């Protein structure tokens, strides 16, 4: 595809910006990027050899961005898994997910391991991977089997620079007290160290995502300079904190699926508050991404591929199909620090998209009817 101009014609375009769909659009793809985008069939293209695909009224969307999954160096059925979960990556790609943000490894593998395996992934066969490597936490704190424990400001500064210079894409930190009597009282980073982590990452052009589950810790993290919260908190997200997050462009990946699973398996009454938090956050102008904290297939909550339970729960929180699509595209790109390259179908951005049959704005389940997926101009028919 990269040696010719590809015209995708006669398609209904939902471009990821939240604007109304464009009927009968023509989208030009040149060298893996979007070229001219018109609301009609323009015959005056000047990029040499042209191949045209008439999509006959199908619907096109930007490739979806999954902003919270664990795709490598994790535990599957309580056993350490070394490398990438390729079955999961393939299923995601075939269902329209072209970028996945990996929120951290949990085994004792090294940063060098994850970078080496990332470099060996076939970029044509799998989604784009954005990875944090290991979690930054207090020594002995929350964050997997061997997180990066930092005990002072200088250590935090050096470690942030070290992992980013090695090729890690963003920093993941945690501020977690513990979930049950066996983990209550975990050591936590203080605000000075958190501020240092965020400042150092920002200076190197990287974002900081934070594992957090309660409002008290979320407020500390927001004041420290994080870019996104990796979960919706379990208690009430108060209006003042919502306003502060909106003003600072701090986004949330709700992972409502986790709350639903905890409620179903353990009777923890978390989901109602989580849904209310999401509803009020979005109504106040807050931006959310799509992500379910996938680790392994566990039905009915987790499956290989598109996080359908999360999409359903976002609908339960009051989001419209268009709001869910925007969360999975343009907001996801902001969360990944890649909005200049992906997330919307706009001229000069990478040609990531998928084509479906049926109107997803009338019925979000039409997203299941995938005809083909494109990543950087390379088509995978489904």
The average pLDDT across 140-146 equals 92
CA distance 90 to 72: 13
The whole-number pLDDT of residue 40 equals 72
CA-based nearest residue to 286, from 259, 312, 253, 260 = 253
Residue 80: pLDDT band with limits 50, 70, 90: very high
Q: Quick check: 2 pLDDT over 60?
A: no
CB atoms within 10 A of CB 216: 11
Q: What pLDDT digit, counting tens, does each position of 236-268 carry?
A: 999 999 999 999 999 999 999 999 999 999 999
Contact present, 136 and 156 (Cβ < 8 Å): yes
Q: Which range, of 2-16, 116-130, 174-188, 295-309, averages the lowest pLDDT?
A: 174-188
Percentage of the chain exceeding pLDDT 70: 96
Helix (H, G, I), strand (E, B) or coil at 55: coil
Instruction: Calculate helix-pair angle for 239-247, 271-283, nearest 10 degrees.
Output: 50
Residue 261: which H helix or E strand, with range? helix 256-266
Per-residue pLDDT at 42: 59
Residue 59: closest CA among 314, 347, 345, 348: 345
Three-state secondary-structure class, residue 66: strand
* Joined tokens for residue 244: 């502060």
Compute the average pLDDT of residues 159-171.
97
Mean pLDDT over the full length of the chain: 95
What integer is the mean pLDDT of 42-53?
70
- d(CA 250, CA 182) in angstroms, rounded, equals 31
Q: How far, in Å, are 18, 251, 307, 311 from residue 365 at the CA level? A: 18, 25, 12, 9
Under the banding of pLDDT at 50, 70 and 90, the label for residue 3 is: low
């Amino acid at each position: 595809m990269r040696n010719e101009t590809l015209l995708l014609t006669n398609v209904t375009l939902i471009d990821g910006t939240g604007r109304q769909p464009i009927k009968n659009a023509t989208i030009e793809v040149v060298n893996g990027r979007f070229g001219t985008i018109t609301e009609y069939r323009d015959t005056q293209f000047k990029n040499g050899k042209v191949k045209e695909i008439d999509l006959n009224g199908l619907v096109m969307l930007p490739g979806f961005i999954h902003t919270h999954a664990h795709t490598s160096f994790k535990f599957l059925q309580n056993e350490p898994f070394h490398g990438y979960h390729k079955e999961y990556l393939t299923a995601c790609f075939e269902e329209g997910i072209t970028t996945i943000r990996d929120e951290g490894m949990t085994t004792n593998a090294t940063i060098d391991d994850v970078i080496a395996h990332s470099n060996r992934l076939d970029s044509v066969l799998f989604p784009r991977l954005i990875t944090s490597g290991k979690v930054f936490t207090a020594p002995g704190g929350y964050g997997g089997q061997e997180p990066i424990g930092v005990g002072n400001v200088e250590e935090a500064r050096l470690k942030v620079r070290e992992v980013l210079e090695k090729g890690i894409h963003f920093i993941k930190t945690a501020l977690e007290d513990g979930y049950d009597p066996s983990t209550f009282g975990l050591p936590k980073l203080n605000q000075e160290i958190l501020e240092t982590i965020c400042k150092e990452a920002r200076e190197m052009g990287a974002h900081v995502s934070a594992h957090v589950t309660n409002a008290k810790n979320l407020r500390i993290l927001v004041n420290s300079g994080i870019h996104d919260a990796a979960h919706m908190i379990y208690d009430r997200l108060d209006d003042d904190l919502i306003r502060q997050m909106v003003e600072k462009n701090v986004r949330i990946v709700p992972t409502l699926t986790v709350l639903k699973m905890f409620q179903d398996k353990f009777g923890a009454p978390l989901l109602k508050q989580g849904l209310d938090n999401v509803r009020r956050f979005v109504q106040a102008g807050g931006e959310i991404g799509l992500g379910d904290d996938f680790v392994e297939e566990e039905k009915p909550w987790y499956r290989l591929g598109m996080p359908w339970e999360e999409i359903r729960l976002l609908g339960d929180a009051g989001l419209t199909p268009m709001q869910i699509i925007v969360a999975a595209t343009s907001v996801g790109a902001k969360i990944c620090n890649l909005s200049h390259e992906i997330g919307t179908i706009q001229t000069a951005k990478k040609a990531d998209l998928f084509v479906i049959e049926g109107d997803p704005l009338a019925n979000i389940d039409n997203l299941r009817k995938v005809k083909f997926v494109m990543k950087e101009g390379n088509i995978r028919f489904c």
